[in-house]
Structure 1
Amino acid sequence: MNNFVFYRTHEHECSYLPDQKARTLFLSPDTRPTPEINEALGLVGFRRSGDHIYRPDCIDCQQCLSCRIVVPQFVWKRSFRRILKKNSDIQIQIIKPLFSDEHYNLYSRYLEFRHQDGDMYPPSPEHYHDFLISDQPQARFVEYRRNGQLVATTVIDWFSSGPSAIYTYFEPELEPLSPGTLAILTLIRLAQAHDLPFVYLGYWIKDSVKMNYKTRFQPLEVFIQNQWQLLKNIDNPLKDEQLSGRMPRL
């Protein structure tokens, strides 16, 4: 970790918690990380957006905790099995990231329907490319098609310990079929098929309604006090005096 150069942003409005200021730590754009470095950084709380590697580095708030599903002990609830059954006609394939009108138009419809209040709105081809397209070797698109039509895409990194979800967008009219949950269940099944122990879900934020859905997928670990711990075993994850913004050793 000490061999890399990182940059901190100025404080800005938080995208998830009202009345909170956020700050972000970025790996220098002059560093082109290998898949191994990308995964090692991911294991200590970093995420990828396009070709940018970052993690939250807020001064007064430390609610953003990296989380991952423990695949061998994953609990297949009846509701999850029903979602798989409802979507049994979906065809799934994994491809390298690409920019196409088909993908971009689906992404645009998704933002129009779900995220008009977000910082990614309004959509633009340039932002889509910067956010989701990367030629890094571990980057993948998981495509979901019904009768040949693209209905959802999950952008992932394929780590040696399991897939890491970056973003999912889908056809808004299919929301009753729970495509977001289907995407996570698909990654779990892929991890199981390859005997990989984890599915990484980005950040869990206790007080964010947008992020709290991740606790449905159990068992769930969070990266806290510079180690991965089961969330259910942590009484007060946000008040522990040992929490700090110090960067763990790689």
Structure 2
Amino acid sequence: MTNPADLDDLLLYLSAPHPCGYFPDRLATTLIVDPQADMSSALYSQLSEQGFRRSGNSVYRPHCLHCQACIPCRLDVHAFAPTRGQRRIWNKNRDLVARSTYQPDLAEHHALFQRYIQARHAGGAMDAPEENPALEFLTSRWSDTEFHEWRLDDTLIAAAVTDRLEDGLSAVYTYFAPEQQARSLGVYAILREIHLAAERQLTWLYLGYWIRDCAKMSYKSQYQPLQILQHNHWQDFAHFPFAKEASGAVDNPSER
């Protein structure tokens, strides 16, 4: 367990304003943990409890002066009860063969990742033709990162990447074959992550940021009971007035 004093000793840097990745008419600023910090999986676990995420080796948290739309969220995996629709998706994909690995075939994953990005986010920052750079944000030199694969007839059709934390799993990214849209593989991947965390006797699945007015981030409210980090305290999502209207959000579980 990381000593809280270690967190107090961390240097944090505030980025210059940059285009927001969620609202094209806004600028964002980001709080970044000192890249020279002696980061570890244990320390990152503590930072995750404070709403930080990682991209590659970089650990960050949104810190915008006039916008607090990015709200950290996590799911209690032992209290989770799937909806009827989620149970249908689980059953629909029972024919897939699952495997978790720390050493994926990067060329195979890059090919699937690029197909997914070109179908969903063409022209974006991750639409990179190079063999490995597009996948660099998924792993880091210090994290306990695992690739979860699902295959149909020996063909990789979906993958989810998670970090192991002291109290849970942190969902990093999900990508899947765009022609398999009818399987709702993004939803299925989250359901499998929930199952895996519970099976490993962990408490939480950290889902990144819930953003109320951003369709690609608001889907997380479909998984309950959700907690959100407000005023430095984790609180039940259901207690907030926006919870009822958020329950109908459209699913898009790749962005975190």
Q: What is the match of residue 65 of structure 1?
A: 71
1:204·1:211 contact (CA, 8 Å) conserved in 2? yes
RCO comparison, higher one (Cα < 8 Å, 6+): 1
Matched, 1:214 2:217: no
- The 1:125–1:28 alpha-carbon spacing in structure 2 relative to 1, beyond 3 Å, is farther
Supply the AA of the counterpart residue of 1:104.
H
- Residue 174 of structure 2 corresponds to which residue in structure 1? 168
Q: Which amino acid aligns with 2:119?
A: F
Q: Secondary structure at the match of 1:210?
A: helix
Matched with 1:245 is none
Aligned pairs for 1:198-209 (under 5 A) are: 198-209=204-215
| Residues 92-115 of structure 1: CA deviation (Å, up to 9, x unaligned) | 121115562101011110011011
Aligned to 2:34: 28
> TM-score normalised to the size of structure 1?
0.89
After TM superposition, the structure 1 stretch with the greater mean CA deviation from structure 2, 119-128 or 217-226, is 119-128
Show the counterpart of 1:148. 154
Q: Which residue of 2 aligns with 1:125?
A: 131
* Farther off after superposition, 198-207 or 10-19: 10-19
The answer for the alignment partner of 1:114 in structure 2 is 120
Contact 2:127 2:134 in 1 (8 A): no
Q: Which residue of 1 aligns with 2:252?
A: none
1:72 counterpart SS class: coil
Aligned counterpart, 2:248? none
Matched to 1:205, the amino acid is I
Distance change >3 Å, CA 69–CA 52, structure 1 → 2: same
Cα separation, 1, equivalents of 2:116 and 2:242: 35
> In the aligned structure 1, how far is the partner of 2:102 from the partner of 2:36?
24
Deviations 1:137-171 (A, max 9, x none): 41111111122211111111111221110101111
Deviation by residue 1:83-135 (Cα, 9 ceiling, x = unmatched):
01110011212111556210101111001101115332345335324311324
CA contact (8 A) 1:22 1:57 kept: yes
- Secondary structure (helix, strand or coil) at the match of 2:95 reads coil
Q: Is the aligned partner of 1:4 residue 2:10?
A: yes
| 117-126 vs 94-103, which moves further | 117-126
2:57 equivalent among 51, 63, 83 = 51
Distance (Å, rounded) in 2 between the aligned partners of 1:8 and 1:127: 25
Q: 1:63 to 1:137 in 2, by over 3 A?
A: closer
- Pick aligned residue for 1:229 from 229, 235, 238: 235
Shift of 1:175: 1.3
Amino acid at match of 2:235: Q
Of 97, 105, 109, which aligns to 1:103? Answer: 109
> Given residue 168 of structure 1, which amino acid in structure 2 is its aligned partner?
T
CA RMSD after TM alignment? 1.7
> Which residue is 1:76 aligned to?
82
SS in 2 for 1:167: strand
C-alpha distance after superposition, 1:164-206 (max 9, x if no partner)? 1010111111111001000100011112212222111000001
Structure 1 unaligned segments of length 5 or more: list them. Answer: 238-250
- Does structure 1 residue 177 correspond to structure 2 residue 212? no
How many Å apart are 1:235 and its aligned residue? Answer: 3.2
Q: Does structure 2 conserve the Cα–Cα contact (< 8 Å) formed by 1:191 and 1:198?
A: yes
SS at match of 1:81: helix
The TM-score, its normalising length taken from structure 2, stands at 0.87
Tell me, yes or no, if the aligned pair for 1:99 and 1:133 is still in contact at 8 Å.
no
Mapped pair 1:93 → 2:99: yes
In structure 1, C-alpha distance between the alignment counterparts of 2:242 and 2:232, rounded to whole Å: 16
Shift of 1:14: 0.8
Partner of 1:248: none
1:145 maps to amino acid: R
